[in-house]
């Protein structure tokens, strides 16, 4: 891809400059910098998780909420952001090998991962939420689903959780789009899915006749991962993230992908 070629040329130039300056071959997990070059933040992400990170056909840049956010964080810090597409399972190993400085990839903060990485402050709270028709007044929370029909995507966490609900008839469909269509056609009373999938569908398609409810059946925080002990960069990222919240830029990025915050 053209984008990969650009990255390859940039990497070759960076190596040449490093060699000329007499630096060793090992990389550092601190974001790189020099007096004559702009500092670079090397970011790893698995570019297969819309709306957080993805690449549309014909686009040279990676897109998504995470991509916009990390670029804004980098700009706030005064860093050039260089994004590498790495399979999700390879992200933490790449961080530990010092091939990248940070990970942003819809990564849930949990105790297991905390044993291997540091995390920034949470930047997004995910979880399972519900979409109903916009004229629905009798379903305000998950407890109101008893005796109702619910659409879920087959093989997902939402399907597992819906099946655990007492008195709820679960209809498993192939895609989120199928679920929303079933809701709009009156075949089910609600759709349960991951919050970003629900919110992004409504924004992306301009869906009318439906609304997302705020209550979450489950909740999990996403964070930016850094190498263990890299608290200096962690603090810089947290400070930049706070600034983006304070000046409203975070809300603008959020609204672009998920609609106005409730």
Strands 79-85 and 39-45, by their bridges, are parallel
Q: How far is CA 162 from CA 49, 71, 138, 175, 220, in A?
A: 23, 37, 18, 16, 18
pLDDT of residue 206: 77
pLDDT of residue 6: 36
Q: Considering the entire predicted model, what is its pTM?
A: 0.73
pLDDT of residue 21: 38
Please tell me the distance from the alpha carbon of residue 206 to that of residue 186, in angstroms, as a whole number.
19
The model's pLDDT over 126-179, given as tens digits with 9 standing for 90+, comes to 999 999 999 999 999 999 999 999 999 898 889 999 999 999 999 999 988 899
Asked whether the predicted pLDDT for residue 119 surpasses 60, the reply is yes
Asked whether the predicted pLDDT for residue 49 surpasses 80, the reply is yes
pLDDT of residue 166: 95
Please tell me the distance from the alpha carbon of residue 187 to that of residue 246, in angstroms, as a whole number.
43
The model's pLDDT over 175-206, given as tens digits with 9 standing for 90+, comes to 888 999 999 999 999 999 989 888 888 888 77
Q: Within 10 A of 220 (CB to CB), how many other CB atoms are there?
A: 17
The model's pLDDT over 50-72, given as tens digits with 9 standing for 90+, comes to 899 999 888 889 999 999 999 99
Give the dihedral sign, CA 162/122/177/138. positive
pLDDT of residue 31: 61
149 burial class (0-12, 13-18, 19+ CB within 10 angstroms)?
Answer: middle
Percent of the chain with pLDDT over 90: 70
- Confidence label for 80 from pLDDT (cuts 50, 70 and 90): very high
Q: Taking residues 94-108, what's their average pLDDT?
A: 97
Asked whether the predicted pLDDT for residue 47 surpasses 70, the reply is yes
- Confidence label for 36 from pLDDT (cuts 50, 70 and 90): low
Mean pLDDT (the chain, rounded): 86
Please tell me the distance from the alpha carbon of residue 174 to that of residue 198, in angstroms, as a whole number.
15
Please tell me the distance from the alpha carbon of residue 223 to that of residue 100, in angstroms, as a whole number.
16
Chain centre to alpha carbon of residue 190: 24
């Amino acid at each position: 891809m053209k984008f990969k070629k650009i990255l390859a040329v940039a990497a070759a130039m960076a190596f040449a400059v490093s060699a000329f300056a007499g630096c060793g071959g090992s990389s550092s997990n601190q974001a790189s910098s020099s007096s004559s070059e702009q500092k670079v933040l090397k970011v790893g992400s698995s570019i297969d998780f819309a709306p957080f990170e993805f690449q549309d056909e014909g686009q040279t840049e990676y897109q998504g909420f995470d991509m916009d956010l990390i670029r804004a964080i980098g700009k706030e810090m005064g860093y050039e952001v260089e994004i590498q597409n790495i399979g999700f399972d390879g992200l933490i190993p790449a961080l530990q090998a010092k091939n990248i400085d940070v990970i942003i990839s819809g990564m849930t903060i949990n105790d297991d991962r905390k044993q291997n990485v540091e995390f920034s402050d949470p930047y997004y709270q995910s979880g399972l939420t519900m979409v109903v028709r916009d004229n629905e007044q009798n379903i305000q929370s998950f407890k109101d689903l008893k005796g109702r029909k619910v659409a879920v995507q087959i093989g997902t966490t939402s399907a597992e959780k819906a099946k655990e609900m007492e008195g709820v008839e679960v209809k498993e469909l192939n895609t989120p789009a199928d679920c929303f269509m079933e809701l709009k056609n009156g075949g089910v009373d609600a759709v349960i899915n991951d919050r970003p999938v629900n919110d992004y569908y409504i924004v992306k398609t301009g869906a009318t006749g439906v609304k997302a409810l705020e209550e979450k059946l489950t909740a999990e925080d996403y964070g930016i991962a850094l190498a263990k002990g890299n608290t200096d960069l962690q603090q810089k990222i947290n400070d930049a993230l706070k600034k983006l919240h304070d000046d409203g830029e975070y809300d603008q990025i959020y609204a672009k992908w998920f609609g106005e915050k409730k």
